[in-house]
Structure 1
Amino acid sequence: MSTTAIRTQVENPRTRRHGVKRTSFWVEIVVSAVVILLPTFIGSAYTMRLLQDVAIWSILALSLTLVLGYTGQISLGQAAFYAVGAYTSVILQTKLGIPAPIAWVGAIALGMALAYLISVPLLRIHGHFLALGTLALGLIVETLLVQLAPITGGHDGIRIPGAQYLGEWVQLRFPYIVLGVLVLSYWLVRNLTQRSAGRSFLALRDDPAGAAALGIPVARYKTLVFMIGGGLAATAGVLYAHHTQVVTPDSFGFDTSIEVLLIVIIGGMSSRVGAIVGAAVIVFFPEWLVFLEKAENLVFGLVVLALLLFLPGGIVGGIRSLIARITRRRRTDPTEEVAA
């Protein structure tokens, strides 16, 4: 075999990977455009509402994917930042008369500020202790939402009619805003994790001590990711408040944090697409099981259990493994023929 042929065989995998990345990039661009335009093609108000539910849960799941999937920080308190975003935006608009765009930015900024303040003591602990610390944060915020009734409305919550605070024109186009924010959140996480910082995140997830020995600023990166995760969760809360037009403490309890964790696990721990797939499963699958009536929860639980047992890498992880296996088989055959 000539030297040129050998060099071609060595270089082909790199060229192939580069081609796959470029194709993946353009596929993501096209899919992002289609997602933003979906409300144009969906005539059913009920389906559109479910789609917005998926988008909001996806943003919340992306916040946990970044924190847990990429840096290994076990957080059970994403509902706290979710609540801060929702309640802050609603209070600023209904009680202080602040315009929606400013209120939204303020709510997201407060979510990130809270994440930063909490990260100082919490990120000094690891593993299960960190999970318990973030769990405590969620319980504290939920309790405050109930106890500070003059501000938060207590158990009754606060209503925020969309047409009154957003205007009818914006309210009618709110689905485009929700899906647009989902796309922006996806690309934020994508750009953050595809760069060199993303490799550093994975390094400190897999081996924090080794990452520190390599000069990676572990504490700074963990704080940064925790802040961005808090901001994304607060963003989901802002959208949720205007989507449901009412906020109550029941929507931001421990169950919410567990549901977000379940979404991330079902979709894939370190997958941006997995966060969206997991959210779609959680939202749409129960709707498809309504005809089962009393057996709905049982069947849904069994399906989720089966996914966890047979697809430990999540749905997206399972699909990637299948594609990798098929690709290896296709590559093996030509190699064997050449060797022969």
Structure 2
Amino acid sequence: MTKSNMATRLYPRGQYGILAAAVVTLIVLSQVVTKSSSVNLLNLWVVYSIAGLGFFWIFALGGRFAFSQTFMMALGGYTTAYLDSLGLPFVVCVLGAVAVTGLGGVAVGLILWRTEHFYFALGTLAVAEIGAVVFGRTSTFTGVNGNITGVGYPRIFDYELRTDNEVFWLLAFVLVIVLLLTVWARRSSVSRQLDAVREIPVVARTVGVRVDSWRLRTLVFGSSIGGLSGALITHWQGFIGVDSFGLDLGIGLFLIVILGGLASHWGVLAGAAFYVLVPELLSGLQQYMSVFYGALLLIVILVFPGGLSGLFDRLAPKRRGTPRSREMEKS
């Protein structure tokens, strides 16, 4: 295999082309989807995609399952609501929320520094549960019973985004930025170190890879993205409550990443679309949604362990694998 072919495998091609296609898709959807209820679902898809990408960084890249992601979303939402009550500009409120959740990620990472796998998941679950109790009872920061209303609309350059259609463009812009950062990480040398940290941490340590440091970085970055999504949801809806970021959403983020596939961040977009649309399509069976999601997880894990992106990768070689292409790869 030539050096160029090896580089292609390490740094997947076409990522920026896919990003451009995603941007075009967002633009087309903004023009096609006009019904108010449908635009609301579209916005939910975008904001859950942002939150899912944050969890992707922690779980798929860092190799750690963090139940604390919904806690970070809530922390970002309450932080931006508190800063908004002080009369600070929208951008300052959101950046403040990102900074606070980043510090929260540092705190959680340092507390659970040496824990592995199951114990890390339990530790972050404890953080989420403690956070829910604290948010529900700290009225000074989170309002009565953890509910805050009247949060200001997003405001960009003195222009207030009041409708769902206007907010969509802000959410879409943020999603594209997060995707761009993820593409950069996946195409850089950082990707190889993250693969080693996730797949073979013991071996990675022996060759000098700072496993714990990289795990902390992915946790902090993913938590910050979670806080960003929580802040955006809060300003968009003008309201935040403890129940908005419960354990059900934490399981939903896990489902989004697993269904999309751990191997590709693009799968998060498909997983988020599924997570948003299925409850709407099966609204008459709402009481059975937990059963449905449980069965879906079993099917994905047993039949399609690679998720939607893995299924696409399995089909792609059949389209590209002509005798001539295989001969060129060997040369």
TM-score w.r.t. the length of structure 1 is: 0.86
Query: How has the CA–CA distance of structure 1 residues 196 and 97 changed in structure 2, closer, same or farther, with 3 Å as cutoff?
Result: same
1:236-255 pair list within 5 angstroms: 236-255=229-248
Instruction: Give yes or no for the alignment of 1:130 onto 2:120.
Output: yes
Q: 1:307 Cα shift?
A: 3.0
Mark the structure with the bigger radius of gyration. 1
Counterpart CA distance in 2 for 1:233 and 1:285 is: 23
Counterpart CA distance in 1 for 2:293 and 2:318 is: 29
Deviations 1:41-86 (A, max 9, x none): 4211111110111111111111111111112112111011101111
1:111-122 pair list within 5 angstroms: 111-122=101-112
Q: 1:156 Cα shift?
A: 5.7
Counterpart CA distance in 1 for 2:154 and 2:26 is: 27
Aligned identity (percent) is 25
Query: How has the CA–CA distance of structure 1 residues 297 and 230 changed in structure 2, closer, same or farther, with 3 Å as cutoff?
Result: closer
Deviations 1:112-163 (A, max 9, x none): 0110122112121101000011111111111111111233124360013545
Of 42, 49, 52 in structure 2, the residue corresponding to residue 58 of structure 1 is 49
Deviations 1:165-205 (A, max 9, x none): 77764334211001111111111112122211111011011
In the other structure, the counterpart of 1:338 is none
Letter of the 2:33 partner, please give it. Answer: I
Q: Is the 8 A contact 1:160 1:242 kept in 2?
A: no
Of 64, 80, 84 in structure 2, the residue corresponding to residue 73 of structure 1 is 64
In the other structure, the counterpart of 2:80 is 89
Counterpart CA distance in 1 for 2:298 and 2:247 is: 20
> How many pairs were matched up?
323
Counterpart CA distance in 2 for 1:200 and 1:133 is: 25
User: Which moved further from structure 2: 56-65 or 33-42?
Assistant: 33-42
User: Which moved further from structure 2: 208-217 or 284-293?
Assistant: 284-293
Letter of the 2:220 partner, please give it. Answer: M
Of 35, 40, 47 in structure 2, the residue corresponding to residue 49 of structure 1 is 40
User: Which moved further from structure 2: 162-171 or 62-71?
Assistant: 162-171
Deviations 1:214-239 (A, max 9, x none): 11122221111111011100011011
Counterpart CA distance in 2 for 1:132 and 1:164 is: 36
Q: 1:294 Cα shift?
A: 6.2
Query: How has the CA–CA distance of structure 1 residues 209 and 279 changed in structure 2, closer, same or farther, with 3 Å as cutoff?
Result: same
Q: Is the 8 A contact 2:97 2:231 kept in 1?
A: yes
Instruction: Give yes or no for the alignment of 1:150 onto 2:140.
Output: yes
Counterpart CA distance in 2 for 1:135 and 1:303 is: 23
Instruction: Give yes or no for the alignment of 1:185 onto 2:178.
Output: yes
Q: Is the 8 A contact 1:145 1:154 kept in 2?
A: no
User: Which moved further from structure 2: 297-306 or 257-266?
Assistant: 297-306
In the other structure, the counterpart of 1:4 is none
Query: How has the CA–CA distance of structure 1 residues 65 and 15 changed in structure 2, closer, same or farther, with 3 Å as cutoff?
Result: closer
SS at match of 1:75: coil
Q: 1:270 Cα shift?
A: 3.1
Instruction: Give yes or no for the alignment of 1:199 onto 2:189.
Output: no
Counterpart CA distance in 2 for 1:333 and 1:21 is: 17
TM-score w.r.t. the length of structure 2 is: 0.88
Deviations 1:278-297 (A, max 9, x none): 11111012222235576666
Instruction: Give yes or no for the alignment of 1:331 onto 2:308.
Output: no
Of 5, 10, 14 in structure 1, the residue corresponding to residue 5 of structure 2 is 14
SS at match of 1:171: coil
1:209-288 pair list within 5 angstroms: 209-288=202-281
Query: How has the CA–CA distance of structure 1 residues 287 and 334 changed in structure 2, closer, same or farther, with 3 Å as cutoff?
Result: same
Query: How has the CA–CA distance of structure 1 residues 302 and 43 changed in structure 2, closer, same or farther, with 3 Å as cutoff?
Result: same
Q: 1:32 Cα shift?
A: 2.1
The unaligned stretches of length 5 or more in structure 2 are: none
Q: Is the 8 A contact 2:78 2:141 kept in 1?
A: no
Counterpart CA distance in 1 for 2:257 and 2:81 is: 28
Q: 1:309 Cα shift?
A: 2.6
In the other structure, the counterpart of 1:3 is none
Letter of the 2:227 partner, please give it. Answer: A
Of 91, 94, 108 in structure 2, the residue corresponding to residue 101 of structure 1 is 91
User: Which moved further from structure 2: 131-140 or 171-180?
Assistant: 171-180
The unaligned stretches of length 5 or more in structure 1 are: 1-9, 336-340
CA RMSD after TM alignment: 2.8
Query: How has the CA–CA distance of structure 1 residues 150 and 130 changed in structure 2, closer, same or farther, with 3 Å as cutoff?
Result: same
Counterpart CA distance in 2 for 1:333 and 1:273 is: 26
Q: 1:36 Cα shift?
A: 4.9
Counterpart CA distance in 2 for 1:234 and 1:289 is: 29
Counterpart CA distance in 2 for 1:71 and 1:334 is: 33
Counterpart CA distance in 1 for 2:3 and 2:318 is: 19
Higher relative helix content: 1
